[in-house]
Amino acid sequence: MTPPLNELWVYLSTSPLLGLTLTLLAYQFAFWLYRRSGMNPLANPVLIAITLLVSLLLVSGTSYQTYFDGAQFVHFLLGPATVALAIPLYTQMRRVRALLWPVVVGLLAGSLTAALSAVAIARLFGASLPSQLSLAPKSVTTPIAMGIAERIGGIPSLTAVLVIATGILGAVGGRWVFDRMRVSDPAIRGFAIGVASHGIGTARAFQVSEQSGAFAALAMGLNGALTALLVPVLVGWL
């Protein structure tokens, strides 16, 4: 950065609201691009916003901790936002009860497949044991995944990156996979994306329909709990 711009950035970076402001502006711009693209999954607003923010931090030489000190209010809102997912889920309770056993079987199969397949592929390519363990909880929401990784000997920071990448990949490619498999039921599509791609996939599901989003929210919550129980038990076997 040129000296005047660098001095301006140093001045602005002392404001605790800078991180929050940049985050909101980046996402708003990314969502505008997403809408302009006709909501094309390839123009995922989370991916675009992350790219913009990371580029800005790298160019300006700003540390992540400095950024997070201002943006942590968004992190705080993750809790209330997750709890609020119970509202659309409540409206779909009749359908959930009707699909109770498919939901249970699908959850167990999806949770085990997400963890075991990731570790198996990483082992096949010669990844280190900590890297393999970091991959195991990649399909659950970030706070749970990082806690699991720390507990089983993985690398929490690596897990966080893998979780975000998994969510974006599911949100971008999920519709294409479902269409090729000729899966059209919004409940099934939503539940599958919630198991595989946690919160980012769930956000995408809500953009499709309320029913799809509700089942994605259900899957995200249940998969987080089940993965936290199963993965530490499976570590010894792995």
For the chain, the DSSP string reads: --HHHHHHHHHHHTSTTHHHHHHHHHHHHHHHHHHHTTS-GGG-HHHHHHHHHHHHHHHHT--HHHHHHHHHHHHHHHHHHHHHTHHHHHHTHHHHHHTHHHHHHHHHHHHHHHHHHHHHHHHHTT--HHHHHHHTTTTS-HHHHHHHHHHHT--HHHHHHHHHHHHHHHHHHHHHHHHHTT---HHHHHHHHHHHHHHHHHHHHHHH-HHHHHHHHHHHHHHHHHHHHHHHHHHTT-
Q: Of 19, 46, 78, which marks where a domain is finished?
A: 78
Residues 9 and 53 in one domain: yes
CA dist list (Å): 173 to 16, 130, 141, 192, 216: 36, 28, 18, 12, 15
Residues 74 and 181 in one domain: no
Structure tokens at 182: 């000729």
Residues 62 and 107 in one domain: no
Q: Of 43, 78, 113, which marks where a domain is finished?
A: 78
Residues 155 and 221 in one domain: yes
Distance CA 163, CA 180 (A): 25
Residues 203 and 175 in one domain: yes
Residues 121 and 74 in one domain: no
Would you say 140 and 221 are in contact if contact means Cβ atoms under 8 Å apart?
A: no
Residues 74 and 97 in one domain: no
Identify which of 16, 149, 23 has the alpha carbon closest to the alpha carbon of residue 75. Answer: 23
Residues 46 and 64 in one domain: yes
Does the CA dihedral 29-156-196-222 come out positive or negative? negative
Residues 121 and 205 in one domain: yes
Mean pLDDT split into 10-residue runs, the chain, 238 residues: 52 64 88 87 84 87 78 73 74 81 90 90 90 90 86 89 89 88 90 89 85 88 88 80
| Domain housing 154 | 86-235
Residues 104 and 125 in one domain: yes
Residues 54 and 101 in one domain: no
Question: Is the pTM for the entire model greater than 0.85?
Answer: no
Residues 229 and 149 in one domain: yes
Name the domain count of the chain: 2
Does the CA dihedral 106-179-166-207 come out positive or negative? negative
